[in-house]
Amino acid sequence: MNRGSGILLPVFSLSSRYGIGTFGKESHSFVLFLEKAGQTYWQMLPLNPTSYGDSPYQSFSAFALNPYFIDLDELVKEGILTPNDLKNQTKHYESFIDYGRLYIERFKVLRIAYNKALKTDIRTKLDKFLQEENKWLIDYSMFMVIKGMHGGKSWQEWEDKYKKREDQAMKEVFLKQEREFYFWVFLQYEAYKQYRSLKKYATSHHIKIIGDIPIYVALDSSDVWANSELFQLDENRRPTSVAGVPPDYFSATGQLWGNPLYDYEKMEKDGFSWWKYRIQKCSELYDVLRIDHFRGIDEYWSVPYGEETAINGKWIKGPNMKLVNALQEAAPNMQFIAEDLGLLTPTVTKLKLDSTWPGMKVYEFAFDSGYSNAFLPINYESNCVAYIGTHDNDTLAHFIEENTNLHPFMKEYLHVDDVKYIHDTMIGTLMRSNADTVILMLQDLLHVGQEGRINLPGTLGMNWKYRLPKDVLTNELAKHLRIMTEESGRLPK
């Protein structure tokens, strides 16, 4: 990656009238802000539909886009909604995302749009879109139909004929639920159309999109349901082992993610075709792709199904460069970022070097072990992507406030004599660092406190809810960021 910088901001955090950010006007305005500020990248979080817990890293599909990101004003312009249809969509929304209310209210208005669209030539367009996207969209739409038939329950709790996708059962579902099947196709048609318009707009303004995918997919997903032979499941489609990580910086008992593990031996036999298809589809959406938990390609933490923590897991050897080569073959023109945080073994370090993918540096990890700490900017190699913090970290303002024990070394390293100078000096030294790429959180540029944190790993309740206040993307902020970007040699050429 060439020397440059960008902003990490989830689409859901953009301001809008409808309770959550969308692919509409606010997204396009953010692209213009990035261009004005001299940035190269917009890093997003996964764009997939969210399920229990609202995490974009646990989705019903690795391919579908989140219907919440469909901009309702765009549907008004299409003539399939009216302003009157939206009168209840702007009520009761506070400064944080209320996913419970969204789930109740948003699908009501999207069904209104669908029913109106059916009076047009939309079915022809949906059939064309379905043919273009093919297998994943058929699987996903059928999955959502049958999930609805079971009151939203996980496919693990469905009747066997649906759980095991028996041909006759699938035919009967389609015949009886064809209208509902096409509702889910319609949502993806609208979401993809709006996102592709946004991506084209970003490209025209010289902004590259960094996408983000979790290495694993959710158990309750169309991906596992439709491709069960590719995962470590028993004859009843139950996981035998699940994913996580051992005790680490974030948790003394590790993190038990619960995702089913891949059967890499089977995947290798067909040349990792599922993975290739996944990455090829990503290359249509993004310019750069961050792969979360990169070390799982070298070794993965396997926890027996049913365990309550991740402590009793073990490391299992992964596909290593065989999978890396397959991904690069699937998307030869897309750049990759390896999320290589956590305890790195020599084999993981070698895999990253062999892949040539840039790893990640997090500045907030830099102050607890002296000048040899690999996260201090003076120790960065150029082939890395450097952050103050990611979506899993505290905002810089709250981090400084909470970690008073680190203040003496922070002041010493940064050559400041007062704590109040630490915040902006950290941002400046990161921008001037040797890292080819620097990605900042907008919350840190705005000096937002604890309320701006996006996710606290291992917790539920207040994650993935942060929204930007209105009118914070000012010309003054863009000018400030542009000056800092130019001074550090990161302006796009």
Neighbours of 83 (CB within 10 A): 9
How far apart are the C-alpha atoms of 362 and 125, rounded to whole Å? 45
Least confident of 127-131, 251-255, 388-392: 251-255
Phi-psi region of 206 (alpha: psi -120 to 50; beta: other; left: phi over 0): left
250: pLDDT strictly greater than 70: no
Tell which residue, 27, 107, 168, 50, has the closest CA to residue 455. Answer: 50
pLDDT at 255: 87
Residue 280 is encoded by which pair of tokens?
């090829």
Evaluate whether residue 57 is within a structural domain. Answer: yes
Annotated catalytic residue, options 85, 263, 307, 392: 392
| DSSP bridge partners of 384 | 359
* pLDDT: which is higher, 105 or 250: 105
Dmax (CA) for the chain in angstroms is 74
The rounded Cα 480 to chain-centroid distance in angstroms is 28
Phi-psi region of 356 (alpha: psi -120 to 50; beta: other; left: phi over 0): left
φ, ψ dihedrals at 485, nearest 5° = -70, -40
339 is a catalytic site residue: yes
Condensed to tens digits (0 to 9), the pLDDT of residues 214-231 reads 999 999 999 999 999 999
Secondary structure of residue 257 in the 3-state scheme = strand
pLDDT at 84: 94
Annotated catalytic residue, options 223, 292, 364, 394: 292
Evaluate whether residue 428 is within a structural domain. Answer: yes
134: pLDDT strictly greater than 80: yes
Annotated catalytic residue, options 212, 220, 339, 340: 339
Binning pLDDT at 50, 70 and 90, where does residue 91 land?
Answer: low
How far apart are the C-alpha atoms of 169 and 431, rounded to whole Å? 57
| DSSP bridge partners of 288 | 210, 335
How far apart are the C-alpha atoms of 196 and 128, rounded to whole Å? 16
Evaluate whether residue 415 is within a structural domain. Answer: yes
- Give the global pTM: 0.96
Tell which residue, 294, 300, 299, 277, has the closest CA to residue 357. Answer: 294
Q: Is the dihedral angle over the CA atoms 166, 172, 177, 178 positive or is it negative?
A: positive
Condensed to tens digits (0 to 9), the pLDDT of residues 405-448 reads 999 999 999 999 999 999 999 999 999 999 999 999 999 999 99
How far apart are the C-alpha atoms of 155 and 147, rounded to whole Å? 7
CATH number at residue 318: 3.20.20.80
pLDDT at 296: 95
Rg over alpha carbons for the chain, rounded to the nearest Å, is 23
Cβ 317 vs Cβ 299: under 8 Å? yes
Evaluate whether residue 327 is within a structural domain. Answer: yes
Q: What is the mean pLDDT of residues 225-254?
A: 92
* DSSP helix, strand, coil percent of the chain (3-state; round to 5): 45, 15, 40
Condensed to tens digits (0 to 9), the pLDDT of residues 13-25 reads 999 889 999 999 9
Q: What is the mean pLDDT of residues 37-60?
A: 96
Binning pLDDT at 50, 70 and 90, where does residue 206 land?
Answer: very high
Condensed to tens digits (0 to 9), the pLDDT of residues 307-348 reads 999 999 999 999 999 999 999 999 999 999 999 997 789 999
pLDDT at 146: 98
Please give the mean pLDDT across all residues of the chain.
96
329 is a catalytic site residue: no
Q: What is the mean pLDDT of residues 460-469?
A: 92
Evaluate whether residue 492 is within a structural domain. Answer: no
256: enclosing H helix or E strand: strand 255-260
pLDDT at 493: 85
Evaluate whether residue 256 is within a structural domain. Answer: yes
pLDDT at 92: 61
Residue 21 is encoded by which pair of tokens?
């950010």
Pairing of strands 299-304, 314-317: antiparallel
Q: Which domain holds residue 213?
A: 4-487
Condensed to tens digits (0 to 9), the pLDDT of residues 358-369 reads 999 999 999 999
354 is a catalytic site residue: no
Residue 198 is encoded by which pair of tokens?
């946004």
Q: How many CA atoms lie within 13 A of 311 on its CB side?
A: 5
The rounded Cα 73 to chain-centroid distance in angstroms is 24
Evaluate whether residue 493 is within a structural domain. Answer: no
Question: What's the total number of domains in the chain?
Answer: 1
Condensed to tens digits (0 to 9), the pLDDT of residues 138-183 reads 999 999 999 999 999 999 999 999 999 999 999 999 999 999 999 9
Pairing of strands 255-260, 241-245: antiparallel
pLDDT at 343: 76
90: pLDDT strictly greater than 80: no
Q: Which residues contact 385 (CB under 8 A, 6 or more apart)?
A: 1, 290, 337, 358, 359, 360, 361, 435, 436, 437, 438, 439
Task: Tell me which DSSP letter residue 49 carries.
Answer: P
